[in-house]
Structure 1
Amino acid sequence: MAETFLFRIADSLIAKLASQLYEEASRVMGLYHHLQEFTHTLSLVKAVLLDAEQKQEHNYELREWLRQLKRVFCDAEDVLDEFECQILQKQVVKAHGTTITKVDRFFSSSNPLVFRYKMSQQIKDITQRLDKVAADRHKFGLQTIDVDRRVVHRREMTHSHVSDSDVIGREHDKGKIIHFLMQKNPIDDDQSLSVIPIVGMGGLGKTTLAKFVFNDDRINECFLLKMWVCVSEDFDIKQVIVKIINSANDSASLAHAHDGQQNLNILDMEQLQNQLRNKLAGKKFLLVLDDVWNEDRVKWVELRNLIQVGAAAGSKILVTTRSHSIASLMGTVSSHILQGLSLEDSLSLFIKWAFKEGEEENYPQLVNIGRDIVKRCRGVPLAVRTLGSLLFSKFEANEWEYVRDNEIWNLSQKREDILPALKLSYDLMPSYLRQCFALFSLYPKDYEFVNFEVTTLWGALGLLVSLKNNMTQEDIADQYFYELLSRSFIQDFVNYGTTYTFKIHDLVHDLALFVAKDECLLVNSHIRSIPESVRHLSFLESDLDGKSFSAKSVGVRTILFPKAGVGAKSETFFSLVSRYKYLRILDLSYSTVETLPHFIGKLKHLRSLSLYNNKKIRRLPDSICELQSLQVLDLGGCQELEALPKGLRKLISLRDFVITTKQAVLPENDISNLSSLQYLTIESCDNVKSLFSGIELPVLKALNVSSCKRLESLPLDSKHFPALEILCLRICDELELSKGHEDQNFNLKLKTILFTSLPQLGTLPHWLQGSVNTLLSLRLEHCHNLEALPDWLSMLSCLKALDIADCPKLRCLPDGINCLTALERLEIIDCPELFRKFTLQVGEYWNQISHIKRISIVETKDLE
């Protein structure tokens, strides 16, 4: 049985129909009465959906009834979306239409009379279908449950570093592995690589144990170089080498890590081998190969030989795998077999996640119930942690007993199956969170998620709905991320300020596949047909878009290409896309098409269109500007694009715009008319010399300008950018930040600043002083001519994070750095003078920064 997500859909439809926008527009179009009837029936059905979704497991007729409802609901979403498209179209015609376009529209289906008739017929049909299906609800004896009371008690966001207190019951395992790693190789085999496998079932904590070891001080002292590579199911030797080199580089920023990955991918194997040898030559290293599935001995021997060429004596490889045969294939010593936690350790771990520290002492009855719950988890930490998280800050015994006594434990299962524990936690998720979680199934295992790409996906599908008017999509998405983290459904969380990354465990990914199997489809070489129920497609392999599929469904909402380098390459793919007129998301990243078909402009429901890293496309059809519902347009990396399409001002819903073009002058007047634009990225626009001369972008929150070789000036002020909070400037060789700011009023209220590879930057520009009371994060990277930080830096009363990397001429921090009482993180990498003066405990000026919670001062170049 897979999820239907019906309560969430019904809730969303009712909220839309109740909005002032729909009420006013429906009255004007004469559709108010029809929509009221539909809303009434929908409310009656919604009242029993929560009970129906809980009882469907053992009732085939009920499951079929829910499937029928889903078909009606999905069609209703499309009809109401068309209604919304018409409202937006009217706004565009009113603001930008001409006599010619208005005359044309009289003879089209967009004519108000034609549209009113068409919509009334569609709404009548939907209402009749819903009435017919809804009438059957009485025969199932369903209870009325109007409100989803499954709530989440939030924890604070964490980071991926594993400290000793985070790991329970693994000290003995850790000690044994460290002993192996620090042992010298036998004298007669001193030059060979020792490979130590950790073997255990999924969810047992192999990766956690490896991290526990990896971060130990003894390991830091023993190995000059440490590298961590997640291998997973795709054992492609070239990609593994790329990951090893990237890990050896240990990039200081997320952005540069991604750039490095792309640059390395264009190298051939000979070039990669040379780079690998240079990275490893003469160094005693520890390499962790996490989550290995490869059973091909030939591939392993080839990889081992490449690594071994540069290995210094005593270098080690630590492997984690579920397979004993893989461990035998790779290991040079006996495998470390990881066992389940003892009952007492399991209970300790459960208590750690279910209570605040010491809180369990007040609830002995709950602890006793908890003991029974962890017995069912069979010593598997992932199951223990997930159920502990589920019950965090819940103090009613009946809630704990529900988990202990749930019938899901009685399902037939394999001895090592922990899916019931995870499914139980999923079943108790709030309905609004379920479909958001299920969409993780569209990505491959071990995928590193970035918050903004997930936010785009959820937002484009209308899943980010809040009862509070002042919450943005990003605010709501952040709340959902917090909730998923609180339930242990996401892990390896790393915060980069405004951006953060995370992963999901393989078994959690299996759960996402399980609950989404009727709705989402991962398209690989084994897929022959696309079922009618599927709404979201994800292509994971190259050249599959040219394959002929049997596709019954026309209701697909999402097409993704989530893997770097895998994109649309054939005309056959676009014939498939042309079937899906209700698409919300079309991802053509890494495609190789030179032009887009004109039908793209007819996909009026489209919310997100990405052409990221298309290296061949030269022009775009102007019809793209007819997509009034479009919220995200990503043209980043389209380096052959000669010009942006004409009529951009008509994209009145566009909130996120990424631009790469050969144009020397961007159509700034059109851009300034994008009334919803909040996020603007301008990258690799090599012919642009200046930006924003006098235009206003009143709701713009984030500006990212990168790799614009000739850009000289970028005037910014609060008059023209009153809402700007995030400013990221990267790799602009000619950019002088003081140019164009001579006589302006500088009251920008920035929260985040990132300056990377700006050779003209000698000190921070004076106009940033307007942000002294708002700035939360300041990051300066690879600014090789940065010599001093201004004294007013010590006035940044809200600053929480200060990160400085590879600024070799920077000799000191400003006086008064100790006045930054809000500062929680200070990171200094490859700044030799700062390293000498502020070294932990012993630096001359250490006392000025000793109050900061998290300090990292590293000179990596000394390690090479």
Structure 2
Amino acid sequence: MAESFLADIANSLLGKVASYACQEAYLAYGVKDDLQRFRDSLTIVRGYLLDAESRKDQSHALREWLKQIQNICFDAEDIFDTFEFQHKRKQIVKSSGSIRKKVGQVFSKYNPIVFLPRMGHLIKEISDKLDKKAAEGITYGLTTIPELVVHERELTYPDVNVSRVIGRDIEKDEIMKLLMQPHPEDGNDGDKSMCVIPIVGMGGLGKTTLAKLVFNDDTIDQLFQLKMWVCVSLNFDIKQIILKIINAASTADSKAASAPTTDPDPQENINNLDIVQLVSRLKQKLSSQKFLLVLDDIWNEDREKWIELEDLIKVGAPGSKIMVTTRSISVAWMMGNVPSYELKGLSSEDCLSLFVKCAFKDGEEKSYLNLVEIGKEIVKKCHGVPLAVKTLGSSLFSNFDINKWEFVRDSEMWNLEQQKNGILPALKVSYDQMPFYLRECFAYFSLYPKDHILDTHGMCGLWAALGLVQSHNGSEKLEYVARKYIDELHSRSFLHELNDYGAGCYFKVHHLIHDLALYVAGENFVVLNSQTRNIPQQARHLSCLEDVSFDLALFPKSRSVRSIQFPILGMSLENESVRNTWVLRYKYLRYLDLSDSCFKNIPNSIAKLEHLRFLNLSRNDKIRTLPNSICELLNLQVLLLRGCTELEKLPKGLGKLTSLRRLSVTTKQSTLPYYEFASLNNLQTLCFYDCVNLKFLFKQTVLPSVEELYCASCESLECLPLYTFPNLQTLFIGDCRMLNLSLDNENSTQKLRMKHVYLFDFTKHLTLPRWIECAVDTLETFQIGNFPNLQMLPEYLTTMTHLKRLFITRCSQLLSLPSDLPRLTALEDLRIVDCSGLYRKCQPHFREYWPIISHIKNIYIQEEEEKEEEEEEEK
């Protein structure tokens, strides 16, 4: 486990101790003193953790101590979650007013006569254990480190050996063109705004190297009178940056071949000057000079600091430029006033050339062609990242043992020994810079296979189930918080190929970032494959990525598992004995994935999983009934029943699931128990798939909490009253052949303020419905697909001032776009796929429609045949 991860768990646990449920426990269960003692001990232990982590490799005892601390923290979290469950249960019983339920409680394990002493004993026991560990920390000589020490990368310098750089000629030329262009905001009005060009990308891609190539090009000396290189790194201190700029300018002056300058002696010691004197000296250096300033390795996200620095250096001659390198998309957006240059990976050929340079002396590779062949396979795991290529190539330099080469080829990157300037240490700097809530979430990417397509709903379900997503003000929805986390991870270059479709997004984790996730996750995260022989006792999270012959021998001692999932579609658990063992043994499960199984039933004992927050039963096409005991899972936030095509009806008592946030349903019912749904006060997302008999949807009730509604392949659905969902923001309707798309209630939709609308497979419709017009002031995403008879888009489309995404697919008769399309100034993503009538008209610089769409940031126009060819090439 990497430094800080256990500290993150401790931080999260301290927050849980301070939660409302635990505060109530202070009074209700008489454990105030023991809980306070636990919190005090945990605070002490947390201070020791980073010191212990830094020294654990030298001490087996310290490694064991850390493992025990971790187990205590997890056990404590389970206890606190039990408090929360009891709090919810009391609320349900109180609101039900049922004498039967109240009598039943007397005989349950939650009877206060039984519950209070038991919980009091557990709290005292856990506090005693932590007290003991805190005392052991003193005997180990541990000292308190107040915060994580981030090991910065070494300061950079502008010099570069051009002959050692491979494959960046095109990128260099593109940056040079940007530097040669006049700043688009420079005009006759004397505007002196600085042109700031950001180069952005994940760690190890070669942003600094590219900047060096540009900085040292002879053309730059002709373009700029003065050029300066400043490595900023993690500490964005204005005074220190000013000092570096002055020194860089003085160094440039001393190298100049021109007449002696009247500037102060470049060797003058300026470190003792105050900030006023430094600013004066800075302006003296830069004033009236056309300069290029490189600010390398920027992490600062404080816009006020950047504006303060920018204002101080806006004294140069017109045409001065600033070039910035950063790993953060948000930093690039904040600093840049021209589009960011997003650096991509090297080609396979360039990667191999670089690898050979690092692994062999000049010409030596010709004598070891067998090793070069293995090298080609090693290079594939680097996925275009030059630093990864250098790391692996250099580790094999002058080593001709084929076994060593095969070991490097077959091992995960995170298992390989690396020097301090290797790829994982470089990426870990980015990891260390993340706030603790992101570091916790990031580790869970290790449970998915490489190149797996992840999505917002899936990650939110997992993170929320494990308590990693918290509403900071008590009212912010968990889904919004999770999306913020994903956006922030993307901004920090941890995610790529992010495809934003409005209501959510799909994305991938770069292979090397995945290796970093494996590195930080540690032994609590277990990925099962065909080689797995048993599950370690300390395992908390299980993920099956290959066909595994599940039997009870795999699980001899493990008791503390919190999540079990099968991320790959179609892969599942088929052994009922193992399933029943999980239900009975893993009483602290929060996340359980039983999708794609062939079970005919779910055991009543599922109700024992009182901590369960996520239950996936999707595509269990043999299940006819579900036990009503599922409705005793009061913590359940997500219940997925999509694809349960034989399910006769939903379980009775669904209304008790007051924590439910997402419900996905396939059922044979023709009507739904609206009174049950009316009790689901936290339900955010409601989905109906393949409900072949369902004709009406909640004709008699209102569901104000629902913000996302999905109806797909409900072939009998006739009525969809949108007034049932007054706060609807996302609507998806697809392949509901009996549904009148006018929804029979257009007069009732005037108050709807939807943000995302997706309509698919309406083969008979000649026009789009008028009710969409009610959302012209709020709509951000509009997608239509398979409207083969649609010939024109409605005029109201061009009045959607907030529209960001317009997706049109399989509308073969659509021949025109609205001429007022440029009025959609917020539109940044246009996709037109398999629309033969529009294809040629929208080609770049060709025919009639390119002029009205060319301003849009992202344009994707393709025929289906081209798309299929591209997919074949990728394969």
TM-score (norm 1): 0.69
- Equivalent residue in structure 2 for 1:765, among 763, 769, 787: 769
d(CA) in 2 for partners of 1:425 and 1:53?
Answer: 19
Is the Cα–Cα contact under 8 Å of residues 655 and 676 in structure 1 kept in the other structure?
A: yes
Is the Cα–Cα contact under 8 Å of residues 47 and 146 in structure 2 kept in the other structure?
A: yes
Note the residue ranges of structure 2 that are not aligned, 5 or more in a row: 153-164, 172-202, 207-295, 299-321, 337-353, 360-381, 391-412, 869-875
* AA in 1 matched with 2:833: I
Is the Cα–Cα contact under 8 Å of residues 763 and 787 in structure 2 kept in the other structure?
A: yes
* AA in 2 matched with 1:447: H
d(CA) in 2 for partners of 1:531 and 1:599?
Answer: 25
Is the Cα–Cα contact under 8 Å of residues 722 and 748 in structure 1 kept in the other structure?
A: yes
d(CA) in 1 for partners of 2:107 and 2:702?
Answer: 37
d(CA) in 2 for partners of 1:484 and 1:145?
Answer: 27
Displacement of 1:82 in angstroms is: 0.7
- Equivalent residue in structure 2 for 1:649, among 655, 658, 670: 655
Residue-by-residue CA offset, 1:246-273 (whole Å, 9 max, x unaligned): xxxxxxxxxxxxxxxxxxxxxxxxxxxx
Change (3 A) 1:416 1:72: closer
- SS of 1:712's equivalent in the other structure is coil
Displacement of 1:521 in angstroms is: 1.0
- SS of 1:516's equivalent in the other structure is helix
d(CA) in 2 for partners of 1:96 and 1:768?
Answer: 40
Match of 1:614 in 2: 620
Match of 2:67 in 1: 67
Change (3 A) 1:614 1:54: same
- Equivalent residue in structure 1 for 2:815, among 811, 832, 838: 811
* AA in 2 matched with 1:22: C
1:37 aligns with 2:30: no
d(CA) in 1 for partners of 2:4 and 2:648?
Answer: 45
Write out aligned runs for 1:20-35 (5 A).
Answer: 20-35=20-35
Displacement of 1:665 in angstroms is: 1.0
Between 1:773-782 and 1:520-529, the stretch displaced more is: 520-529
Displacement of 1:743 in angstroms is: 4.2
Is the Cα–Cα contact under 8 Å of residues 386 and 489 in structure 1 kept in the other structure?
A: no
Is the Cα–Cα contact under 8 Å of residues 3 and 50 in structure 2 kept in the other structure?
A: no
Is the Cα–Cα contact under 8 Å of residues 562 and 590 in structure 2 kept in the other structure?
A: yes
Change (3 A) 1:695 1:762: farther
Is the Cα–Cα contact under 8 Å of residues 584 and 605 in structure 1 kept in the other structure?
A: yes
- SS of 2:759's equivalent in the other structure is strand
Residue-by-residue CA offset, 1:749-776 (whole Å, 9 max, x unaligned): 1111111112354333222223211111
d(CA) in 2 for partners of 1:357 and 1:809?
Answer: 40
Displacement of 1:619 in angstroms is: 1.0
- The alignment yields a C-alpha RMSD, in angstroms, of 3.8
d(CA) in 1 for partners of 2:134 and 2:641?
Answer: 45
Match of 2:459 in 1: 454
d(CA) in 2 for partners of 1:669 and 1:826?
Answer: 42
Match of 2:528 in 1: 523
1:756 aligns with 2:760: yes
Is the Cα–Cα contact under 8 Å of residues 746 and 771 in structure 2 kept in the other structure?
A: no
d(CA) in 1 for partners of 2:838 and 2:55?
Answer: 64
* AA in 2 matched with 1:763: T
Is the Cα–Cα contact under 8 Å of residues 47 and 146 in structure 1 kept in the other structure?
A: yes
d(CA) in 2 for partners of 1:359 and 1:673?
Answer: 48
- SS of 1:530's equivalent in the other structure is coil
Between 1:486-495 and 1:733-742, the stretch displaced more is: 486-495
Displacement of 1:423 in angstroms is: 4.2
d(CA) in 1 for partners of 2:867 and 2:481?
Answer: 43
- SS of 1:458's equivalent in the other structure is helix
Displacement of 1:488 in angstroms is: 3.4
Match of 1:13 in 2: 13
Is the Cα–Cα contact under 8 Å of residues 736 and 761 in structure 1 kept in the other structure?
A: no
Between 1:536-545 and 1:67-76, the stretch displaced more is: 536-545
* AA in 2 matched with 1:68: Q
TM-score (norm 2): 0.68
d(CA) in 2 for partners of 1:538 and 1:546?
Answer: 15
Residue-by-residue CA offset, 1:80-106 (whole Å, 9 max, x unaligned): 111111011111112235211211111
1:739 aligns with 2:743: yes
Residue-by-residue CA offset, 1:266-321 (whole Å, 9 max, x unaligned): xxxxxxxxxxxxxxxxxxxxxxxxxxxxxxxxxxxxxxxxxxxxxxxxxxxxxxxx
Write out aligned runs for 1:588-667 (5 A).
Answer: 588-667=594-673
Displacement of 1:742 in angstroms is: 4.8
Displacement of 1:66 in angstroms is: 1.5
Displacement of 1:695 in angstroms is: 1.7
Change (3 A) 1:694 1:816: farther
- SS of 2:110's equivalent in the other structure is coil
Is the Cα–Cα contact under 8 Å of residues 707 and 728 in structure 2 kept in the other structure?
A: yes
Residue-by-residue CA offset, 1:661-698 (whole Å, 9 max, x unaligned): 11111222211211110011110101001112132221
Match of 1:443 in 2: 448
Displacement of 1:840 in angstroms is: 3.5
- SS of 1:522's equivalent in the other structure is strand
Match of 1:495 in 2: 500
- SS of 2:757's equivalent in the other structure is strand
Change (3 A) 1:491 1:93: same
Residue-by-residue CA offset, 1:460-484 (whole Å, 9 max, x unaligned): 1111135344433233323332343
d(CA) in 1 for partners of 2:139 and 2:471?
Answer: 34
Match of 1:128 in 2: 128
Residue-by-residue CA offset, 1:469-527 (whole Å, 9 max, x unaligned): 44332333233323433443332323223332222233333332333231011122222
Match of 1:683 in 2: 689
d(CA) in 1 for partners of 2:388 and 2:796?
Answer: 46
How many residue pairs are counted as aligned between the two chains?
648
Is the Cα–Cα contact under 8 Å of residues 651 and 674 in structure 1 kept in the other structure?
A: yes
* AA in 2 matched with 1:571: E
d(CA) in 1 for partners of 2:664 and 2:334?
Answer: 49
Change (3 A) 1:617 1:524: same
Is the Cα–Cα contact under 8 Å of residues 714 and 739 in structure 1 kept in the other structure?
A: yes
* AA in 1 matched with 2:744: G
1:536 aligns with 2:533: no
Match of 2:86 in 1: 86
d(CA) in 2 for partners of 1:838 and 1:675?
Answer: 47
Displacement of 1:566 in angstroms is: 0.9
Residue-by-residue CA offset, 1:714-754 (whole Å, 9 max, x unaligned): 1103xx42332111111111111223305425211111111
Is the Cα–Cα contact under 8 Å of residues 148 and 430 in structure 1 kept in the other structure?
A: no
Change (3 A) 1:433 1:667: same
- SS of 1:828's equivalent in the other structure is strand
Change (3 A) 1:357 1:102: closer
Displacement of 1:546 in angstroms is: 3.8
Residue-by-residue CA offset, 1:348-402 (whole Å, 9 max, x unaligned): 9994648859989xxxxxxxxxxxxx99x97976375999xxxxxxxxxxxxxxx
Change (3 A) 1:29 1:706: same
* Sequence identity (%): 42
Match of 1:382 in 2: 385
1:564 aligns with 2:569: yes
Change (3 A) 1:862 1:71: closer
Displacement of 1:124 in angstroms is: 1.1
- SS of 1:548's equivalent in the other structure is helix
Compare CA radii of gyration and give the structure with the larger one. 2
